[in-house]
Chains A and B, each alone.
Chain A
Amino acid sequence: MDFLWEGLREAVRLVASGDAHVFHAVWVSLLCTLLSVSLASLVAIPYGAWLGLYRPRGARPQVFLLRVGMALPTVILGLLVYALLSRRGLLGGLDLLYTKAAIIAGEILLAFPLLATLAHGATAALDREVVETPLTLGAGRVRAMLRALGEVRTAIAAAYLAAFGRCHTELGIAITVGGNLRMRTRTLPSTIQLELSRGDFAGALAPGILLVLLACGAAVVTYRLAREDRR
């Protein structure tokens, strides 16, 4: 147990000393995660809710594809973005490989099907009246959808949290298209991976502790935003 205990103490010391590299990794992780989740959700949540509430023609195959996308391993998404951004790839001229933008692109692909599927699931289970009542009262479909989303805000908050969790613990994309470059694209999970490969257990634990703290922070924020405390 000494091994774990000493590692923990050293890790806490590292966090407390404000190690610049670790905190830069926090910044990269947070920036990429927040941007990709919020950008993806702008489209994914209304899209999933639309499929769930109005069941348009062709909704079933779309839901199926979203579910496949949700189950894809992140390394596959990393490969996909890599193929696009590589010097020999379609968008190679943009020189975006090994930048934060590349990580964000990959994480959008990761978050989108997850958010859309969960939004679909939450709204499809709703009573039809939730949208039909406002529609008969003359509200537009978008307005009715927003109302329905308000009804299932707890599930939507959970969807955000799930997307946040998947993106900020993400390693396949961060390494494949981020390149794990120090003080540039190194995230908390890729720091853990690197410190372990250097045989520095405490160095791996310190970013691990910060990841847990971020997860707690995200849980509190989504809880607040969904106003679950005021029920």
Chain B
Amino acid sequence: MPRGLLLILALWAGCGGGADPARVRLATTTSTEDSGLLQWLLPPFEEATGIEVQVGPAGTGQALALGERGDADLVLVHARDREDAFVAAGHGTERRDVMWNDFVLLGPPDDPAGVRGTTDAALALRRIADARRPFVSRGDDSGTHIKERALWARTGGAPAGAPHYLDAGQGMGACLVLADEKRAYVLADRGTFLSYRRRLDLAVLVEGDPALRNPYGAIPVDPARHPGVRAAEARRLLEWLTSREGQARIAAFRVDGNALFHPAHGVG
């Protein structure tokens, strides 16, 4: 056989195949990946169990779609209604609270729409729209986008189609950069904002509104529905995430000294 062909075959073999090591496919949102939480959280689990976690960061919509198609074993997302619908439709076996973080409304530090210090996030959005200041929407059916829509719905709807409503259809990080460039307002999860903060000229203008809380749930994909799913590994990861050890690890995660995610089961 010619040497070139052998080389190609060797490369091909290196791409996969061989013995099948224990692994679990985790479909999760960009916020957990972009903030660095997963790189902090998962290695102890992988070391203790020998199970490799393959992370596919996506918007909540795509993460749930991966689960619905059986292309993921465990889903970790933040959109409560969609999660419940996912379980109700029989794609997942159960939903468990894992942790929560919160959203913040960001904008240019000089705050041309005058929303700083407002405690009602929906009211702040209304003011931004009334002042015709640009607002960047995720527009990608992510958990953050769903939260945006819920807030806009409480104040008469988003000014979709207006020139100052920028529907970006991109991940959180890209939207932060966009808002920074356009001196626009944007709703972001605190974690992603903190990890991007030093590079951006954006300030936290509204925070602490209970409506800005953001709970994360984990759902194992139902093996009865999707036979290819690695149910045992997914179960172990879920148990570990909600265990004392996993919860303590979540609570100990820091970005620049800030706690980003708060364990759902209050051990931290």
Contacts from A to B (Cβ < 8 Å): 3, 86-87, 97-98, 175, 179-184, 186, 190, 194, 196-201
Contacts and interface: CB of A to CB of B under 8 A. Distances in A.
A194 B169 contact: yes
A3 B69 contact: yes
B114 to A, nearest CB: 22
A194 B59 CA distance: 10
Interface of B: 58-59, 61-66, 68-69, 139-141, 161, 166-171, 174, 178, 180-183
B178 A194 contact: no
B61 A199 contact: yes
B195 to A, nearest CB: 20
26 contacts: A87-B180, A97-B181, A98-B166, A98-B178, A98-B181, A98-B182, A175-B170, A179-B166, A180-B168, A180-B170, A181-B168, A182-B169, A190-B169, A194-B169, A197-B58, A197-B61, A197-B62, A197-B140, A197-B169, A197-B171, A198-B59, A198-B140, A198-B141, A199-B64, A199-B65, A199-B141
Nearest to A181: B166
Contacts of A190: 169
A52 B59 CA distance: 49
A183 B141 CA distance: 17
B56 to A, nearest CB: 11
Contacts, number: 64
What DSSP secondary structure best describes chain A's contact surface?
A: loop
B166 to A, nearest CB: 5
A182 to B, nearest CB: 4
Contacts of A97: 181-182
Nearest to B145: A198
The winner among A3, A190, A196, A199 for most chain B CB atoms within 10 A is A199
A196 B71 CA distance: 14
Contacts of A183: 161, 167
A198 B183 CA distance: 26
Nearest to B63: A199
A175 B171 CA distance: 11
Contacts of B183: 87
Contacts of A197: 58-59, 61-62, 140, 169, 171
B173 to A, nearest CB: 12
A199 B66 contact: yes
**Leading 4 A-B pairs by shortest Cβ distance:** A199-B65, A182-B167, A194-B169, A199-B62
B105 to A, nearest CB: 20
